[in-house]
Chains A and B, each alone.
Chain A
């Protein structure tokens, strides 16, 4: 039996900010879900199941968000699932929801992901005082910075590439009304003059801490036919994982990421991603991950990704725009960050991305990763259905 085609017919997100003190967690997710339903012109009654994701429990201290949030998401009397794969969770949550539609288990599924970082402290959540271990670091920046240095050594990339990425993403964010950081006076010089936190990572090359939620309505072919606006069609989707630390792990270009991308391209019939894919929204929490993922995802040969960035190929008006929304560098409600990538890819192929719309974006990749480069989730969406 063939799979049911999956369409994105509704997308909603909150205006991402440092702290949404005016709403509860329920109020926050509700806002994104309501906007996704409005976009799809559907009501709560049209939803068959809800799939929700968030980052580690310690980030907010809410152990069972699916229990607490059922009322707010109209899930009473319906199946509700929670997905958890660290920072990639927004992506894997969308894929679990998509698989329910593809398998014809449900016709229309609401999927969403959120984080209210202001209610906790992610650095604390990532640095628990484990007995017998030597505390050396706090937070994610110091963990990833040595991998960035390894990439620089391996590729011979000039020191400035990271600042080019940050400058681009922060400018893209100015065109996205939902982005957290709107740095109207951003200049390349300011990025390059910002303090070194974890050398080689500068302050302006790191992501902010955000409160926000993102939701999508996924549906089958019949649902797509009723949609008021053009749907985005899922052409391929995959998840892969590998241990955080193991002998032979390539932290710069993890095998699980390569395998995940290859699976998506196989499903979607992509022979040459650089030629066949129009834009990419990828998970870049530290600027240097743009050239690293360009290589990992097959858009450039090993050691060559930075050349695309340096040549302006990944700019909004470049040949392969990357992180049109402003990316994780401009908005980071951790649990939602993966889904925002997936949603941005869908917005682009629907032609609904507003000021940050890429012209003729027909096939766009959404990408997320999490843990210590441990979990990967990706989807490729297109403006035409998979059998067209």
Chain B
């Protein structure tokens, strides 16, 4: 069996986030080098803060300022930092309970090695030089020697209330998300793509309903059976339906207007999708007979053009729209 195709697929988008009042105060506070939490109805202080009380579900807006020092409650060593992580040298992921808080915040702890980290160790915030109102305004935590390891609750002054009001508050952030995949189209589509290199359209026939799938998926979705019998279809086909695209998409290098059509290649059990050229866009019609036009080095036909044959009768393609 020929090797199955593989290629990287990167899915990346700069999602925006409207922060709402609590996260706005929290992130603006970081910009101003202070850490805010919320006070819940049962008197606990949550850092990072939440908008709604986890116990009563009521809205909470009572903000308090906690200390930039705290205690590691647990941690894991990161041997090999990855892209966009807080530090580019090995570090500890640590849960840090800041002095005055009842919950812990996840962040990076800069330490020379895992032997230098332990639960209960004292740490403090290392502020980033440039702060924008983001969690990265805390560059990381660093070891902080304020005496022998403290028992739980050490240095817990009652946190001071804070209005959460700032000049020029941060109200939104950009949260870029990125996923790195290795994509494979699978055995059936690999065979299809390899045949395209010879300008042939090769589909697969369902052993039960006898319909030919182009492109093939390796199985018939109607019968639920694997397909393997290869069948060459086309090269001619019929435009079964279409639209005229008048808006230019950012990710496509196609001049508008153009015709996007469903094309039933001769012998295929369903239509595939392609662009129609070689004819003014406003003269394309259902039933138009077309053939592929290949360009040098392209994987797919650049477009399909009229063959000059008489239009197909509607009844010959009405099931292939």
Contact = CB atoms under 8 A, between A and B. Distances in A.
B150 interface: no
Interface of A is mostly: loop
Interface of B: 5, 7-9, 11, 13, 15-20, 23, 50-57, 59, 171-172, 175, 177, 183, 185, 189, 193, 206, 209, 211-213, 220-222, 240-247, 249-252, 254, 257, 260-262, 269-270, 273-275, 286, 299-300, 314, 318-319, 321
B20 A23 contact: yes
Given A153-B241, A196-B244, A131 B15 contact: no
A197 B19 CA distance: 34
B7 A132 contact: yes
Interface string A187-200: 00000000111111
Nearest to A149: B241
Interface stretch (A119-127, A169-177, A307-315): A119-127
A142 interface: yes
11 contacts: A21-B172, A24-B20, A71-B54, A132-B185, A136-B273, A138-B249, A138-B250, A147-B321, A195-B246, A199-B245, A247-B212
Contacts of A262: none
Interface of B is mostly: mixed
A247 B221 CA distance: 9
A119 B52 contact: no
A198 B241 contact: no
Interface residues of A, number: 63
A119 B14 CA distance: 9
Contacts of A72: 51-52, 57
Contacts of A154: 318
Interface of A: 19-27, 30, 44, 58, 60-61, 71-74, 76, 116, 118-121, 123-125, 127-132, 134-139, 142, 145-150, 153-154, 195-201, 243, 245-249, 251-252
A287 B97 CA distance: 55
Nearest to B259: A199
Contact of B245 (A19, A118, A198): A198
Contacts of A25: 17-18
B280 to A, nearest CB: 13
Given A23-B20, A71-B54, A147-B321, A136 B246 contact: no
Contact of A136 (B7, B221, B252): B252
Contacts of B52: 26, 30, 71-72, 74
